[in-house]
A = this chain, B = another copy of it.
Amino acid sequence: MIDAVVVGAAGYTGAELTRLIAQHPGMRLRAVTSTADAGVRVSDLYPALSSVDLAYVEPDVDAIARDAEVAFLAVPHTAAMGLVPRLLDAGVRVVDLSADFRFRDAALYERWYGAFHVAPALLDEAVYGLPEVSRRGIAEARLVACPGCYPTAALIAAVPALEDGVALPGRVVVDAKSGVSGAGRSPSPGTHFVTANESLQAYKVAAHRHAPEIAAGLEIAAGAKVALTFVPHLVPMTRGLLATVYMEARDGLTQAEAWDVYSRRYAGEPFVTVHSSGRMPSTAEVRGANRAHVGVQLDEGSRTLVVTAAIDNLVKGAAGQAVQCANIMCGFCETDGLDGLAPAV
């Protein structure tokens, strides 16, 4: 059994981490921290977690270093980079779900997140936690920087075509749609039920912080510059994220070839399903599960390759993927604690 601590456990991602680790066959959940909710029992804040017999404690880096073999950081950006060096020094493996170590380039981080980076020396060491792209690096990492929810879906949808060359680098449009849990637990006018329900809206057009992260992943896959347009939308559902990706098809590409590229690329992946040719996934299929379902369709008329990827933003887009990374880092079977199916309906 490996001892785990969740730092920042009272938010939605932290709560899902709590659920997954509490049920993990190889991990023991030693502590859950929260500054705002210290002293509150987990099952009082999240009655669904009725069998989790813990209360939130104030985060204390020494205590975490002492208790944890692996630490999951579900804290806001800027809060993680202060903790990470001290945890690594203490020999703790770190799975960071914040944005602090997602970029190689501190300047890019500082431009988009408006904060100085206090641990730039670790940016080179950190491995991007998208196992379908960087599994090998994760296995050897001390520090994994888990992708954002939008980048997870966008890259799973786009990478195979760009790597293979069936889609051209150049203009790529990622039109993404997320359920409201992606906005986090803090109540706000935009997450009020009355505002979000029965409504649909684009937001942060050309200004969302996940854009440079997606662009970086696309460019690695393509080996070339990509002109990305990323537009996220808020959708009236609790969970679920769909990325619809539009890429310019290579001359002569057929639907059968395009589908084949995806089918082969993800053949061995335990958590990715490529639907039969032309069939599109729904977010409901993956609700609560650590899965990505992918659909591939070439638009012959406009020579555009359309790929959609559906994930649960809190699981494959956050907590589940973090556990998947930890499984790889710690030598567990990659699917341990993550093989639950989504409810049938």
Listed in ascending order, the chain A residues whose CB lies under 8 Å from chain B are 12, 15-16, 18-19, 22-23, 46-52, 171, 173, 175, 177, 179-181, 185, 187-189, 191-203, 205-206, 211, 227-229, 231, 233, 235-240, 242, 244, 246, 248, 273, 275, 278, 280-289, 291, 293, 295, 297-304, 306, 308, 310, 314, 339-345
Contacts and interface: CB of A to CB of B under 8 A. Distances in A.
A201 B282 contact: yes
Oligomer copy total: 4
Nearest to A342: B48
A240 B289 CA distance: 19
Given A23-B340, A50-B341, A343-B288, A189 B192 contact: no
Nearest to A284: B199
Contacts of A244: 175, 202, 231, 233
A214 to B, nearest CB: 12
Contacts of A175: 173, 175, 244, 246
Given A12-B344, A171-B248, A231-B306, 9 more contacts: A23-B340, A23-B341, A48-B286, A175-B244, A177-B177, A187-B191, A197-B237, A202-B295, A236-B237
A312 to B, nearest CB: 9
Contacts of A211: 301
